[in-house]
Amino acid sequence: MEEVVKWSREQKIDRWAFRSALLKALYDDADEYFDSGEGTFRELAAFDNGVATVLKGASDSEGKN
């Protein structure tokens, strides 16, 4: 992700436009996932919550060092 952010800065892409494009891509991917019948909203939400928990835990532990 750092490389993508670095690239967007080098290209002088507005931070908020970049963020919204990423969120739209994730949203569209979720729609495609649901439409394919591969999974449910509950599964996707559980995954997202799990990732958020890990990221928060990592951030909290970095702050303690």
pLDDT tens by residue, 12-50: 999 999 989 988 998 888 888 888 888 888 888 898 899
**pLDDT-derived band of residue 65, with 50, 70 and 90 as boundaries?**
low
| pTM summary value | 0.53
The total domain count for the chain is 1
What CA–CA distances, in Å, run from 35 to 28, 29, 42, 45, 61?
Answer: 11, 10, 14, 16, 38
Q: Quick check: 56 pLDDT over 70?
A: yes
Domain residues for 49?
2-64
Q: Which helix (H) or strand (E) holds 55?
A: helix 41-64
Rounded distance between C-alpha atoms, residue 56 and residue 58, angstroms: 5
